[in-house]
Amino acid sequence: MDDSRNHLPAPAGAADGLQQFADAIDEAFWLADCASGRLLHVNPAGERLWARPARLMFRDIPAFVATVHPEDVPRVETWLAAGWSGLNGDYRIQQPDGAVRWVRSRTFPIPDDAGRVYRSATLSSDITEARQLEAQSKQMSRALEQTADAVMITDRDGVIEYVNAAFEDISGYTKAEVIGRTPALLRSGFQEPGFYSQMWQLLLNGLPFSDVFINRRRDGELYYEEKTITPVRDEQGNITHFVSTGKDITRRLLAQQRLHRVLHYDAMTGLANRILFVDRLGQALLQARRLGLAVGVLHVGFDLAALFGEELGRVTEERFQGLLAQHLREAVAEGDTVARLGRDEFVILHKQALQAQEMEPLAQRIMLEFAQPLRLEGYELFLTPAIGISRYPGDGTETEELLHKALLAMRQAREGGAHYAFYRPEGAAGGHYTNG
């Protein structure tokens, strides 16, 4: 290397050994005279960091300050108020092409034989990448802390190392209470058997796991969390951590449940409405076709118009409807569906109708439920239902067809003074099979 490139004019007796050492290291180095403030030597690493040859480098403090980023000049000038020995810290410089680099400088005083400081040696490192990583880390930390999703980081054994503010808000636990523990403290006991073993099987094979967790807050309240857990690998591909992000969807699920109830259940009685009944009847028909079973539909009609006028009022009728629904539920078999179609019309889906005669016990139980008067708020109400029955596959194969034929059978039973009737086509021999 040409000495004129990296050596500045130096007084006799300059420390040749120190210069040789400095030229061999990767950190930027310069040697300065404390009395004049002028540089005596700059190593090749210094030329590379400042992107200038030694002869064009700063030769004194003012020239050095000219290379510092304008925003950092006030701080650096404060350091250098007492000379080069004060240059200790992080700052930015600008290279000739406008590129900005972060630098960390440390300055060491060099005393003479009498103990007086007459020179200073400065070592400077390029910390640009480290500062960028630090900035990215801070940005990521702020993002994790400010996101609305609950974030948890565990080691490979599931021990919690980090949770964010949203986790604290959702779970009720503080960071101090969960760091060092496992997510098992959130378990409610309501997940299906095998849920967690399936989760760990996927995670330990390097696959993400997503599902809805039924967790328990610190105060014991249940909440539903829509969560995704992702394995984190190191440079060798080994799983070292797991990161989970989750949303509290309790309110959303409750809203969906309320909407489902509004859409599928009768508000007055709590029974299924026509929409839900048709859906369940359709499912029952699919199963019956596949397994060779039979399905029965019973249309139960009451004559309530004569019972409820202005005297009883709407509130009493609503309570009576609830009592009526209760009696119908008690009459049917487990697995049957009772629905309210109108003010005084109900339908029942009966899945155990293997033969027509097997429908009779259900019809008889319904009649028995209403053999005694219904008592409500001092009133005794006598009701005699009329029941029409249709069956799959004999009376039809579609939902609306079976519903319509059960309605026709109910009307025939009422007109004929019978308690119940099985559907028979108009004009068929024997007409409707009835029981009076």
Res 267: pLDDT: 84
> What's the whole-number mean pLDDT along residues 65-87?
93
Domain 147-253 sits in CATH 3.30.2290.10: no
Res 65: pLDDT: 93
Residue 308 banded pLDDT, cuts 50, 70, 90 = low
> Which tens digits make up the pLDDT trace of 358-379?
778 889 999 998 888 888 777 7
Res 432: pLDDT: 46
| 3-class state of residue 357 by DSSP | helix
DSSP labels for 225-236?
A: EEEEEEEEE-TT
> Which tens digits make up the pLDDT trace of 312-346?
555 566 778 888 899 999 989 888 999 999 888 99
> What's the whole-number mean pLDDT along residues 184-205?
92
Q: Measure the CA–CA gap between 49 and 244, rounded to whole angstroms.
A: 42
- With residue 80 as reference, give the H or E element that holds it: none
Inform me whether the pLDDT recorded for 310 exceeds 80: no
> Which tens digits make up the pLDDT trace of 345-357?
999 999 865 565 6
Pairing of strands 433-435, 420-422: antiparallel
Domain 265-435 sits in CATH 2.40.70.10: no
CATH class of 3-132: alpha beta
- Domain ranges across the chain: 3-132, 147-253, 265-435
Inform me whether the pLDDT recorded for 15 exceeds 70: no
Residue 271 burial (10 A CB sphere; 0-12, 13-18, 19+): buried
Fold matches, 3-132 and 147-253: yes
> What's the whole-number mean pLDDT along residues 264-286?
91
Res 286: pLDDT: 92
Tokens read off for 83: 């000379």
| 3-class state of residue 428 by DSSP | coil
- Average pLDDT of the chain is 86
Inform me whether the pLDDT recorded for 63 exceeds 60: yes
pTM of the full structure: 0.51
Res 8: pLDDT: 39
Res 302: pLDDT: 87
Res 318: pLDDT: 74
Inform me whether the pLDDT recorded for 434 exceeds 70: no
Res 91: pLDDT: 96
29 touches 122 (CB < 8 A): yes
Inform me whether the pLDDT recorded for 5 exceeds 50: no
> What's the whole-number mean pLDDT along residues 40-65?
88
Q: Measure the CA–CA gap between 234 and 6, rounded to whole angstroms.
A: 43
Residue 66 banded pLDDT, cuts 50, 70, 90 = very high
Strand partners, 196: none
